[in-house]
Amino acid sequence: MNLYKYVSDAINEKLGFAANLEIPRNREFGDFSTNAAMVGAKLAHKNPRELAGEILPKIQELDFVDAATIAGPGFINIKIRDDFILKNATAPAPYKNETPLVIDMDYGAYNVAKSLHIGHLRTSIVGDTLNRIFRFMGHKTISYNHMGDWGRSMGMVIAWIKRIHPDWPFFQNNFDANMDLSKYTFSPSELNTFYPQASALAKQDEKFMDDVHTITAELQRGHPGYNALYNIFMPISLKSMHDTIHKLNILPFDNDLGEKNAALYEAPVEKLLREKNLLVESDGAEIVVVKRDTDTAPMPPVMFHNSRGATTYDATDIMAIYYRKLTDNPNKIIYLTDSRQSLHFEQLFRIAELTGLFDTKNLEHIGYGTINGADGKPFKTRSGNAADLDDIIQIATDAVRARASENNKELDDDTIDTIAIAALKFNDLIHDLRSDYIFDPDSVTSFEGKTGPYVLYTAVRLNSVLKRATNTPKLNNHILLPDERNLLMTIMDFDRTIQSAYENRATDMIANYAYNLCQLINAFYHSCPILRDDIDDDTKQSRLYITKIARDTLVTTTDLMGLKIPDKM
RNA sequence: GCGCCCAUGGCUCAAUUGGAUAGAGCAACAGAUUUCUAAUCUGUGGGUUGCAGGUUCGAGUCCUGCUGGGCGCGCCA
Q: Cα angle vertex A81, ends A80, A85, to 5°? A: 85
A299/B2 CA-to-C1' distance in Å: 10
Nucleotide closest to A339 measured between CA and C1': B71
CA distance A131 to A139: 9
State residue A262's pLDDT score. 95
Q: Report H helices in A62-187.
A: 82-88, 121-136, 152-164
Is residue A240 a contact partner of residue A130, using CB atoms and an 8 Å limit? no
Query: Which residues pair with residue A288 across a beta bridge?
Result: A279, A302
Nucleotide closest to A42 measured between CA and C1': B57
Distances in whole angstroms, Cα of residue A147 to Cα of each of A86, A141, A237, A358, A389: 50, 18, 11, 22, 17
State residue A7's pLDDT score. 95
A343/B4 CA-to-C1' distance in Å: 10
Q: Which nucleotides of B are covered by protein (CB under 7 A)?
A: 1-6, 12-17, 19-27, 35-42, 57-58, 69-77
Q: Cα angle vertex A183, ends A179, A186, to 5°? A: 125
Which residue has the closest alpha carbon to B77 C1'? A313
Q: Is A10 left (phi over 0), alpha (psi -120 to 50) or beta?
A: alpha
Q: Report H helices in A152-285.
A: 152-164, 188-204, 206-221, 224-247, 259-263, 266-275
A434/B5 CA-to-C1' distance in Å: 9
A9/B75 CA-to-C1' distance in Å: 56
A444/B26 CA-to-C1' distance in Å: 11
Nucleotide closest to A533 measured between CA and C1': B35
Nucleotide closest to A406 measured between CA and C1': B39
**What tens digit of pLDDT does each residue of A335-362 get?**
999 999 999 999 999 999 999 999 999 9
CB atoms under 10 Å from CB of A479, counted, come to 9
Which residue has the closest alpha carbon to B33 C1'? A526
CA distance A311 to A309: 7
State residue A39's pLDDT score. 77
This complex has an ipTM of 0.95
Nucleotide closest to A311 measured between CA and C1': B75
CB atoms under 10 Å from CB of A141, counted, come to 23
Residues of each domain in chain A carrying CATH 3.30.1360.70 = 3-80
State residue A118's pLDDT score. 93
CA distance A546 to A527: 14
Give me the amino acid identity at A61.
E
State residue A134's pLDDT score. 97
Sheet holding A32-34, edge to edge: A21-22, A32-34, A75-80, A65-71
Per-residue pLDDT of chain A in tens (569 residues, 90 and over written 9)? 899 999 999 999 998 888 889 999 888 899 999 988 887 777 677 788 888 998 999 999 999 999 999 988 889 999 999 999 999 999 999 999 999 999 999 999 999 999 999 999 999 999 999 999 999 999 999 999 999 999 889 999 999 999 999 999 999 999 998 999 999 999 999 999 999 999 989 988 989 999 999 999 899 889 999 999 999 999 999 999 999 999 999 999 999 999 999 999 999 999 999 999 999 999 999 999 999 998 989 999 999 998 888 888 899 999 999 999 999 999 999 999 999 999 999 999 999 999 999 999 999 999 999 999 988 888 988 777 888 999 999 999 999 999 999 898 999 999 999 999 999 999 999 999 999 999 999 899 999 999 999 999 999 999 999 999 988 888 887 788 999 999 999 999 999 999 999 999 999 999 999 999 999 999 999 999 999 888 888 899 999 999 999 999 999 999 999 999 999 99
Residues A3-80, CATH architecture: 2-Layer Sandwich (3.30)
Is residue A41 a contact partner of residue A75, using CB atoms and an 8 Å limit? no
CA distance A108 to A256: 10
Element of type H or E holding A538:
helix A537-560
Choose among A364, A477, A437: nearest CA to A89: A477
Nucleotide closest to A376 measured between CA and C1': B70
Coil, helix or strand at residue A141: strand
Which residue has the closest alpha carbon to B20 C1'? A72
